Amino acid sequence: MATIKLIKKVIYSGVITLKTGLHIGGTNAALNIGGPDKFVVRNPINNRPYIPGSSLKGKMRALVEICNGETNGGKPTNNPLHKAGALFGVSGDNEQSHASRLIVRDAELDINSCDFSNTDLPYTESKTEVAIDRVTAKANPRTFERVPAGAQFCLNMVLNIFEGEDEQGLKETLQQAIQLLQDDYLGGHGSRGYGQVEITLNEPKEKTY
């Protein structure tokens, strides 16, 4: 594989605002009788919910692939010439493989972004839903833990630009990914209204090398 030189890092920061409740699943190890069936992921040190960078990045990549027709029978093509491959990387042990150009940090909850004093659990709400068996009509209630609408998370990403690469193209693909995410949903159960987000970016900062 040819050696390439890193020439620039473009640092993005901003805010993810929840328009509807967000559920990104965590462990159910602490399940208590009468509590939610499905918990959100939390930082074990401070017990605050967060958005894993892997969830953000994976969702953005999937949306870019679908929007640009870069899938084959619903599966990603893993092609470095495609927009998704150029930005998010191509796996494999061959000349076409390369690391992701985008680093997506875990997004931490801004505990001052809204009033969490009335939430059922620390920083979260519990939402009970009832699934109806279409054959037996039997009700199956279940309770999900969600970060409530109005909460905000701190967004941080780094775009690596290497010598000879299409910097503008990479930036445009990232902007496309962010717009698609706002028009879709983050986390689970989006078809039932969960996970609508609004993303506000600050002016990017650049570091050259």
Assess if residue 1 is contained within a domain: no
Q: What's the pLDDT band for 1 if we cut at 50, 70, 90?
A: low
Assess if residue 103 is contained within a domain: yes
Percent of the chain past pLDDT 90, that is, above it, reads: 70
Range of the domain at 33: 6-208
* Residue 81: φ, ψ to 5°: -85, -15
Report, as an integer, the average pLDDT of 78-92.
86
pTM over 0.85, yes/no:
yes
7-58 per-position pLDDT tens digit: 999 999 999 999 999 999 866 544 454 456 689 999 999 999 999 999 999 9
Three state DSSP letters for the chain: CCCCCEEEEEEEEEEEEECCCECCECCCCCCCCCCCCECECECCCCCCEEECHHHHHHHHHHHHHHHCCCEECCEECCCCCCHHHHHHCECCCCCCCECCCEEECCEEEECCCCCCCCCCECCEEEEEEEEECCCCCCEEEEEEEEECCCCEEEEEEEEEEECCCCHHHHHHHHHHHHHHHHCCCCCCCHHHCCCCEEEEECCCEEEEC
Report, as an integer, the average pLDDT of 185-189.
94
Assess if residue 125 is contained within a domain: yes
Q: How many domains does the structure of the chain reveal?
A: 1
Q: Given a cut of 80, is residue 80 above it in pLDDT?
A: no
Assess if residue 152 is contained within a domain: yes
Q: Given a cut of 80, is residue 59 above it in pLDDT?
A: yes
Q: What per-residue confidence (pLDDT) applies to 2?
A: 60
Q: Pull the structure tokens for residue 188.
A: 């689970």
Assess if residue 196 is contained within a domain: yes
Instruction: Select the more confidently predicted residue: 134 or 46.
Output: 46
Assess if residue 193 is contained within a domain: yes
Q: Pull the structure tokens for residue 59.
A: 């969702």
CA angle 97, 73, 64 (to 5 degrees): 60
Calpha distance 197→153 (Å, rounded): 10
159-184 per-position pLDDT tens digit: 999 999 999 999 999 999 999 999 99
Report, as an integer, the average pLDDT of 69-75.
78
